[in-house]
Amino acid sequence: MRVVVATRNTSGLPDFPGNVWVPLQYVAGLQRLGIEALWVDRQDAHDPRLAARECRTLPHRDAHSVEYVVRRFELIAREFGFAGRWCIVYDGGARHFGMGRAELEQAAAESDLLINIAGYIEPDSPLLRIPRRAYVDVDPGFTQMWSQQVDLGLGRHTDFFTVGQNVGRPSSRIPTSGVEWRQILPPVALDLWPASIDASCSRFSTIADWRGSQQVRFGGEYYGGKRSEFLRFLDVPQRAGVAVEIALCIGQHDHEDLGLLLKHGWCVREPYLYAGDLHSYREFIRFSRAELSVAKSGYVKAESGWMSDRTACYLASGKPAVVQSTGVEEHLPTGRGLLAFSTLDEALAAIEAVEGDYLNHCRAARRLAEEHFNSDLVLGSMLERAVA
């Protein structure tokens, strides 16, 4: 069996390893199931000489030349076992890196399944020759609302999966437009994320984007990013009396917000130094005591049941996760290893619970990963449903 994992503009942001780890877990997980996996990334045209003109409005655009991002991507392919099975389709197909155009077309013609992780696929793409085409929604609520306003190309797919455990349920306020969304949890290739249980690790932590790119107005309401949620829980570090370290992507124009975080006891780290590649991202988590994080306000407001791929990595590493409720706790066991909160008092109580029985929470976190996020289980189930 051959499966193509497709992304869009992932290779162009090598300094955002959280975005790279998501599809990499699919590629690595498929390989562990004995399946030939190819990774195809569609990269928009970009030019680092234009970066200064758009620094304020698009701070991450055009930071690197295409030659640089191709070299970075090639190194990832070599290290994680898919060398020779990748392609960057650049500027709408003007250039191809890794596999050439003819090789990509042949590979698509011989593939059984496309797993498209939240990327628009052009109508003339050779990837559409693959008979089964699964769209994986990693931004539940946002994706469904965006699809009511712009063409996401959903109609070019045969199967639809979402990490939003409440999408499509009768009680959900998220529109589905007739699409049958099937639930999936973020897969983790557990051998790449071994347990690292160590009571001497002292800091709660998370890795986050202050504003992010996910936002939408729908039904007269605004669904946005994490900023408003962080501000709601500013007092947590000082009230809980624990060290909280956050590798935070925050813009220069948000200097007042940064001051608020520092004033309230958050230790803010430069994300490109502390979690700026696949290995430092993993090590940042490995030497954390536990995760403490809020969710994007859109996930919270829509009660999407969103589950974080980052949190899944914390759990796999044997790190308890204290995270803001999105409704996912209705579908996963919580209270040991994974603890959800909606209020400040609930967040403080969850931290106290972790501190009071730390090692048992660590072991429970790893068990959760093994029983619910193991890529063998998650992707095995997904393949059964997509190719049946």
The pLDDT score that the predictor gives to residue 51 is 56
**Distance of alpha carbon 166 from alpha carbon 202, whole angstroms:** 34
Is residue 383 within 8 A of residue 113, CB to CB? The reply is yes
| pLDDT tens, residue by residue, 129-187 | 999 999 999 999 999 999 999 999 999 999 999 999 999 988 788 999 899 999 999 99
Query: Are residues 331 and 379 both part of a single domain?
Result: no
The pLDDT score that the predictor gives to residue 180 is 95
Query: Are residues 181 and 220 both part of a single domain?
Result: no
**Distance of alpha carbon 25 from alpha carbon 45, whole angstroms:** 26
Query: Are residues 350 and 201 both part of a single domain?
Result: yes
Domain with 158, as residue range(s), is: 2-185+375-387
Tally the residues of the chain: 388
Query: Are residues 40 and 148 both part of a single domain?
Result: yes
Is residue 121 within 8 A of residue 152, CB to CB? The reply is no
Is residue 158 within 8 A of residue 133, CB to CB? The reply is yes
Query: Are residues 258 and 163 both part of a single domain?
Result: no
Query: Are residues 178 and 197 both part of a single domain?
Result: no
What share of the chain in percent tops pLDDT 70?
96
Specify the pTM: 0.95
Is residue 149 within 8 A of residue 122, CB to CB? The reply is no
Buried b (16+ CB within 10 A) or exposed e, 111-128: bbbbbbbbbebeeebbbb
Query: Are residues 367 and 383 both part of a single domain?
Result: no
Query: Are residues 238 and 272 both part of a single domain?
Result: yes
Query: Are residues 267 and 126 both part of a single domain?
Result: no
Query: Are residues 151 and 227 both part of a single domain?
Result: no
What domain count does the chain have? 2
The pLDDT score that the predictor gives to residue 23 is 98
The pLDDT score that the predictor gives to residue 366 is 98
CATH code, domain carrying 146: 3.40.50
Query: Are residues 81 and 137 both part of a single domain?
Result: yes
CATH code, domain carrying 196: 3.40.50.2000
Query: Are residues 114 and 173 both part of a single domain?
Result: yes
CA angle 150, 152, 157 (to 5 degrees): 145
Residues (pLDDT < 70) of the chain are 50-62, 388
SS3 of the chain: helix, strand, coil, percent, to 5: 40, 20, 40
Running DSSP on this structure, what letter comes out for residue 160?
E
